[in-house]
């Protein structure tokens, strides 16, 4: 594995780290989001395993650091991974991804697994993560969520994955690219009808945005204004009762015994997640 920058010794002012593997989260946009502990590990480690030496080199220069950088991803050859793990017997190796927390839809789990099997000490240095940042912004239920990585590129595979998660009682999180956003929103609209979706993009950057709306409204917006940047898609959980039309009518009739049409519509909308305006129109018909 080639070294892409020259190493400088910080031994005089920074004691060496114990040998092992250090999983270091790095900023997802704003470089000032790096943690003090991450800076400390990157300062004291013997080298950094990273996806792209150019990207990590930019971060290291921002921090005023110069360390050996070794290109590593999950497609690395077995012998390269073995040599890297063997070196951890007497070296402290930091593992970073291009942005965010390693292993979260990023390379690293094979290296962590190999290190554990070899008896190497593994430590995590937590920090920025796009999925966690997005769910704090979206305004969707955050007590239970399922992160499912990237949606498949092919239409059928994408539809199959969404159908698989349809009954999961949790907010769904997916990573997506700008170019595929509209197609994914359309697939969500078909597979998970009636659910709101949040589009969180450019997180921590200058043009950070989080929109929460119906898939149809989001499609219209992003067709008119094509998005840029990395995206997190969040889909609200299934409603407490996804009732049939007959069930909705029965609930409306019951509510209309004691409520005005507008009140009955609001009550049934809260119970079923159905559109309040449509329920109001139906309540007028039933009355």
**Global pTM value:** 0.77
Residues 6+ apart with CB under 8 A from 120: 19, 20, 21, 85, 88, 89
Q: Per-domain residue ranges for the chain?
A: 20-125, 130-235, 245-286
Q: Is the pLDDT of residue 68 over 60?
A: yes
Report yes or no: 102 and 95 within 8 Å, Cβ to Cβ: yes
What angle (nearest 5°) sits at the alpha carbon of residue 69, between those of residues 68 and 74? 145
- When the candidates are 3.40.50.1110, 3.30.360.10, 3.30.950.10, 3.40.190.10, the CATH number that belongs to 130-235 is 3.30.950.10
Round to whole Å and give the CA distance between 103 and 74.
Answer: 10
The confidence score (pLDDT) of residue 240 equals 57
Q: Is the pLDDT of residue 134 over 60?
A: yes
Report yes or no: 194 and 274 within 8 Å, Cβ to Cβ: yes
Rg (CA), the chain: 24
Round to whole Å and give the CA distance between 144 and 228.
Answer: 29
What DSSP assignment string belongs to 133-180? HHHHHH-S--SSEEEEEEPPSSHHHHHHHHHHTTT-SSEEEEEEEGGG
The confidence score (pLDDT) of residue 267 equals 86
Residue 246 host element (H or E): helix 245-256
Give the other-Cβ count within 10 Å of 284's Cβ: 13
Round to whole Å and give the CA distance between 215 and 199.
Answer: 10
* Portion of the chain with pLDDT greater than 90, in percent: 75
The confidence score (pLDDT) of residue 286 equals 87
Strand ranges across the sheet with 47-50: 69-71, 47-50, 92-95, 20-24, 122-125
Give, in order, the Cα–Cα distances in Å from 176 to each of 91, 130, 220: 36, 11, 18
Give the other-Cβ count within 10 Å of 243's Cβ: 17
Give the other-Cβ count within 10 Å of 85's Cβ: 21
Residue 74's pLDDT band, with cuts at 50, 70 and 90, is confident
Residue 43 host element (H or E): helix 36-44
Mean pLDDT of 94-112: 94
Give, in order, the Cα–Cα distances in Å from 49 to each of 32, 90, 158, 178: 21, 15, 32, 28
Give the other-Cβ count within 10 Å of 245's Cβ: 9
Cα torsion angle, 239, 244, 245, 248, sign? negative
Q: Does domain 20-125 have CATH number 3.40.1010.10?
A: yes
The mean pLDDT value of the chain amounts to: 91
Lowest mean pLDDT among 2-11, 104-113, 116-125: 2-11
């Amino acid at each position: 594995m080639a070294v892409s920058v020259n190493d400088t010794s910080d031994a005089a002012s920074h004691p060496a780290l114990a040998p092992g593997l250090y999983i270091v989260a790095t900023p997802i946009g704003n470089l000032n989001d790096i943690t003090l502990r991450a800076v400390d590990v990157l300062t004291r480690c013997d080298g950094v395993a990273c996806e792209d030496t150019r990207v990590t080199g930019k971060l290291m220069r921002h921090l005023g650091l110069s360390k050996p950088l070794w290109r590593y991803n999950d497609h690395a050859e077995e012998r390269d991974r073995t040599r890297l793990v063997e070196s951890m017997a007497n070296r402290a190796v930091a593992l970073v991804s291009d942005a965010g927390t390693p292993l979260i839809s990023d390379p690293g789990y094979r290296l962590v697994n190999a290190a554990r099997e070899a008896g190497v000490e593994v430590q995590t240095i937590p920090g920025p993560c796009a999925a966690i940042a997005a769910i704090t912004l979206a305004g969707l239920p955050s007590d239970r969520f399922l992160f499912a990585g990237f949606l498949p590129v092919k239409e059928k595979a994408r539809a199959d994955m969404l159908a698989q998660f349809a009954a999961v009682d949790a907010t769904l999180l997916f990573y997506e690219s700008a170019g595929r956003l509209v197609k994914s929103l359309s697939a969500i609209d078909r597979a998970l009808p009636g659910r709101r979706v949040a589009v969180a993009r450019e997180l921590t950057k200058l043009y950070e945005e989080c929109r929460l709306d119906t898939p149809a409204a989001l499609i219209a917006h992003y067709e008119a204004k094509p998005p840029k940047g990395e995206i997190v898609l969040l889909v609200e959980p299934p409603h407490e009762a996804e009732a049939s039309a007959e069930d909705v009518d029965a609930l409306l009739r019951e509510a209309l015994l004691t409520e005005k049409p507008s009140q009955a519509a609001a009550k049934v909308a809260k119970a079923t997640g159905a559109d309040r305006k449509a329920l109001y129109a139906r309540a007028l018909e039933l009355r």
